[in-house]
Structure 1
């Protein structure tokens, strides 16, 4: 099971920063999850929320302005991928506006970097699956009434074979059905040691977590 750091190791550095990614890899994570939005100057920036703390939309400010408002340097997708070329990257595309910039950045990297593109916007992933020969997947917040209603649109796309389930939406029967149909199952949102143990028992392909201590990884305290 791949262990993927949710936005990096956020207890030691701001989330989605190069420092957080470096710390996550140093303590033993196999991969990194991050979020991509588009800034006003057309940069694919790594920032989770739609707005900064002051309420200003990310899409309304430049990358430099965003960094000033956030209080740290907000990296671009290119900077992060260049900094950690050997890492497995789960890149969540947060908004349709970022699609073109993400595709432009990833096209030359597909053959040389390990990438998984995901989104809550399943229409984005369908367009990505058509445009790029990269692994893509659906993020699933709610348990579907039937698995076929979720997978119907994905089946024609050979590279769209990953489901990223929110912990409270997972159902062992659905996981087994998806796996039998050739889909990889990832889970995010586990909070306790017990929940992490259950994820291990479910034989998932990947676990996206904020808790290295629950998956057997040791975090070295920062120097004082």
Structure 2
């Protein structure tokens, strides 16, 4: 099971920063989940929230303006991919405005980085799966009535064979059905020790967590959860 740090290791560091990414890799995480938005000056920035702490939309701020608001360095997608070439990167594209630029950048890295491109906007990941030769996945925070509704749109794109589920709606039957028709399952959002323990028994291909204390990481002197 691949273990990814959600926005890096940010318990004592700002999330989605180079420091948080470095800390996650030092702990022994195999990979990092991060969020891509586009700033007013057309830079692909790694930033989760739609609105900055001063109440301004992130899309209406330049990267340097956002750094003044946050008080820390806001990395670009290219900067992070260059700095951590061995990481498994789960890159969530947050907005359609970042789609075209993200695809252009990812084309330069798709053959020498391990990448999983995801989005809650399934039209974005369909486009990425069509244009890139890298794995893509559909993020979902709802329990679909039928897994077939997700699979139908994805089947024409062989790279789109991953579903990233919110822990809140994890359903063992749905996970098994997704596996049966050729999809990998990744879960994000467990928060307690018991929730993380449950995830180790679900046959998942990956887990995205904010809590390194609840997973087994090799650099902490424990055994890696290496299945799949």
Give yes or no for TM over 0.5: yes
Moved over 2 A (4+): 216-219
Structure 2 match to 1:35: 35
Distance 1:144 1:170 in 2: 11
Q: Secondary structure at the match of 2:59?
A: helix
Distance 1:12 1:24 in 2: 12
Distance 2:15 2:202 in 1: 28
Distance 1:134 1:58 in 2: 28
Distance 2:135 2:55 in 1: 34
Distance 1:104 1:193 in 2: 40
Q: Secondary structure at the match of 1:5?
A: strand
Structure 1 match to 2:17: 17
Structure 1 match to 2:141: 141
TM norm structure 1: 0.96
Q: Secondary structure at the match of 1:65?
A: helix
- 1:12–1:23: 8 Å Cα contact kept in structure 2? no
Count residues with an aligned counterpart. Answer: 219
Distance 1:134 1:68 in 2: 35
**What are structure 1's unaligned runs of at least 5 residues?**
220-224
Q: In the TM superposition, what are the counterparts of 1:71-220 in structure 2 within 5 Å?
A: 71-217=71-217
Structure 2 match to 1:222: none
User: Over aligned residues, Cα RMSD in angstroms?
Assistant: 1.0
TM norm structure 2: 0.94
Distance 1:109 1:72 in 2: 26
Distance 1:105 1:63 in 2: 17
How far did 1:216 drift? 2.3
How far did 1:12 drift? 2.7
**What are structure 2's unaligned runs of at least 5 residues?**
221-228
Distance 1:168 1:72 in 2: 32
